[in-house]
């Protein structure tokens, strides 16, 4: 069988799986959702898995995903996950406000949602479809475009569980809302789930969200997540995303944000896990004076591969965006970054800055970086810059000349490189968790460590 046939038959497999899904598990869904799913499935059936011949997928080969016969993860009857197992994946090790999922299914017994203040919703998507159907209908599948990526379409088609985050107008929330997606790979089967997250922060509200994806095993599984974010006028929404899937995992994700006038939205994303991951981030600045910050750190080794595909769309005047992605690639790992900035006609006084730096710790590691600027307004400021390469010898020498061994100097420089993104985390407890993780990663490499 040729590879092309193989991938083609995969699309058919998902079409068959959709039939079964639509007839059984998802039968109780409201008509509008069924319709949106069907439309999305039709889209996926139309385009199938992306191929390396497509510009957007030039550096990321998803055939390994297409080849595995993934099946939708069944609701685990007894998943065996305890609160203790969840704890390391919570900010500062404390429950706070957290919705926990196991293999894509909401796990109320592991979640802590009883202390939510008035005006704040953190609910499973299934629950929200019953309790706040109008809100879900208004936004779900309305922002993240299925045309943008086959994986977004697939996620919409199989929308079943996930989370709704809603912060009512003017509500100021300091404590972070947390979503924890734990993966327990199947014994024989390779499971797949499509977590769907909808976060709506109404006008003038302020909130923080942490999305955490963690694998509790080495086996193959596939997370295909879609997150839609709506930030109202003058609202302020800080979000963090930590991807620590297992070594055998595939992770595809879409994050789409839509911002109103004078709003602030930030996403800091950390990529540590999965053998293959791809994250499509689209941020639309759709109100005058909106501000968006995207930061990312990838820390990969072995033969891990990650691809961040970001689009910042300036649709209105006087908006600012700032994007800063650092990647550290060890062993034979590889990173891809695409930074697209679109300035729509009339989006004058746009101020946008994009930076992508890649540190290659071995000669086998590889990084590809491509900025794409599409500017249709004449009074704008857009800058971009990218670097890639090994640690600079002059830097190593300078640090060595202060008494640190060459290995420790390398570790220190790598840590500094990672710290640029760690410093973007304003939640202290999360920052210290991530800092420990970065130090642990450095210590796990051969030679060199940072202390203190």
Partner 1 sequence: MLEVKNLQAGIEGAEILKGLDLVVKPGEVHAIMGPNGSGKSTFAQVLAGHPGYEVTGGSVTFEGSDLLEMDADERARAGVFLAFQYPVAIRGITNAYFLQSALNARRKEQGLDELDTLDFAEMLERKLEEIGWDDSLIHRAVNDGFSGGEKKKNEILQLAVLEPKLAILDETDSGLDIDAVKDVAAAVEKFRSPERAFVVVTHYERILNYFTPDFVHVLAGGKIVMSGDMQLALELEKKGYDWITEAAAV
Give 51-86 as a DSSP string: -TTSGGGTT---HHHHHS--EEPPPPSS----HHHH
Single residue of 27, 80, 188, 452 touching partner 1 by CB under 8 A: 452
The verdict on 128 binding partner 1 (CB under 8 A) reads no
d(CA 20, CA 253): 24
Cβ neighbours for 141, distance < 8 A, ≥ 6 positions apart: 36, 40, 156, 159, 228
Closest CA to 438 of 191, 294, 272: 272
In terms of Cβ atoms closer than 10 Å to its own Cβ (0-12, 13-18, 19+), residue 310 is buried
Is residue 450 within 8 Å of 411, Cβ to Cβ? yes
Closest separation between CB of residue 297 and partner 1, Å? 11
The verdict on 393 binding partner 1 (CB under 8 A) reads yes
Closest separation between CB of residue 353 and partner 1, Å? 16
H-state helical runs in 89-244: 125-131, 133-139, 150-157
Single residue of 117, 398, 436, 444 touching partner 1 by CB under 8 A: 398
CA–CA distance from 24 to each of 27, 31, 140 (Å)?
5, 15, 21
Cβ neighbours for 376, distance < 8 A, ≥ 6 positions apart: 342, 343, 344, 345, 347
The verdict on 86 binding partner 1 (CB under 8 A) reads no
Closest CA to 253 of 277, 285, 219: 277
d(CA 192, CA 225): 10
Closest separation between CB of residue 354 and partner 1, Å? 17
Pairing of the two strands 97-102 and 105-106: antiparallel
For partner 1, the binding residues in 420-449 under the rule CB under 8 A are 420, 423
The verdict on 418 binding partner 1 (CB under 8 A) reads yes
d(CA 380, CA 347): 8
Closest separation between CB of residue 448 and partner 1, Å? 12
Single residue of 2, 23, 24, 451 touching partner 1 by CB under 8 A: 451
For partner 1, the closer of residues 77 and 394 by Cβ is 394
Single residue of 81, 198, 404, 430 touching partner 1 by CB under 8 A: 404
Binding piece for partner 1, criterion CB under 8 A, among 11-19, 126-134, 282-290, 399-407:
399-407
For partner 1, the closer of residues 98 and 434 by Cβ is 434
For partner 1, the closer of residues 271 and 326 by Cβ is 326
The verdict on 401 binding partner 1 (CB under 8 A) reads yes
Single residue of 293, 348, 370, 400 touching partner 1 by CB under 8 A: 400
Closest separation between CB of residue 6 and partner 1, Å? 44
Binding piece for partner 1, criterion CB under 8 A, among 28-36, 187-195, 236-244, 401-409:
401-409
Closest CA to 180 of 219, 122, 229, 235: 122
The verdict on 416 binding partner 1 (CB under 8 A) reads yes
Tell me which residues touch partner 1 (CB under 8 A): 392-395, 397-406, 408-409, 412-413, 415-420, 423, 450-452
């Amino acid at each position: 069988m040729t590879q092309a046939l193989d991938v083609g038959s995969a699309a058919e497999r998902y079409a068959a799986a959709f039939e079964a899904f639509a007839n059984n598990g998802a039968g109780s869904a409201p008509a509008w959702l069924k319709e949106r799913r069907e439309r999305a499935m039709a889209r996926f059936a139309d385009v199938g898995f992306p191929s390396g011949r497509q510009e957007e997928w030039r550096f990321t080969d998803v055939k390994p995903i297409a080849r595995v016969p993934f099946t939708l993860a069944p609701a685990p009857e007894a998943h065996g996950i305890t609160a203790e197992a969840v704890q390391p994946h919570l900010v500062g090790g404390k429950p706070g406000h957290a919705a926990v999922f196991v293999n894509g299914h909401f796990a109320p017994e592991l979640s802590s949602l009883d202390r939510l203040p008035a005006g704040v919703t953190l609910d499973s998507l299934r629950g929200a479809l019953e309790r706040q159907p109008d809100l879900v209908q208004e936004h779900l599948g309305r922002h993240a475009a299925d045309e943008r990526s086959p994986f977004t379409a697939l996620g919409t088609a199989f929308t079943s569980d996930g989370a709704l985050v809603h912060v009512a107008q003017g509500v100021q929330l300091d404590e972070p809302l947390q979503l924890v997606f734990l993966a327990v790979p199947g014994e024989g089967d390779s499971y797949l789930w499509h977590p769907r997250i909808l976060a709506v922060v109404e006008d003038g509200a302020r909130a923080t969200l942490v999305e955490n994806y963690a694998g509790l095993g080495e086996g193959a599984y596939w997370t295909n997540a879609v997150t839609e974010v709506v930030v109202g006028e003058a609202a302020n929404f800080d979000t963090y995303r930590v991807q620590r899937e297992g070594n055998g995992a595939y992770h595809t994700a879409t994050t789409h944000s839509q911002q109103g006038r004078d709003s602030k939205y930030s996403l800091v994303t950390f990529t540590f896990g999965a053998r293959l991951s791809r994250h499509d981030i689209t941020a639309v600045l759709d109100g005058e004076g909106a501000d968006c910050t995207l930061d990312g750190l990838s820390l990969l080794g072995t033969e891990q591969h990650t691809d961040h595909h970001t689009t910042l769309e300036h649709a209105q005047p006087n908006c600012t965006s700032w994007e800063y992605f650092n990647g550290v690639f060890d062993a034979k790992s590889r990173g891809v970054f695409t930074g697209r900035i679109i300035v729509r006609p009339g989006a004058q006084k746009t101020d946008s800055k994009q930076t992508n730096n890649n540190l290659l710790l071995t000669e086998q590691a590889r990084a590809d970086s491509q900025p794409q600027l599409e500017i249709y307004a004449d009074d704008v400021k857009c800058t971009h810059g990218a670097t890639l390469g090994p640690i600079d010898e002059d830097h190593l020498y300078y640090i060595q000349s202060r008494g640190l061994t060459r290995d420790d100097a390398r570790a220190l420089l790598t840590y500094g490189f990672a710290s640029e993104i760690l410093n973007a985390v304003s939640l202290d407890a999360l920052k210290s968790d991530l800092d420990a993780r970065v130090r642990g990663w450095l210590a796990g490499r051969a030679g060199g460590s940072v202390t203190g």
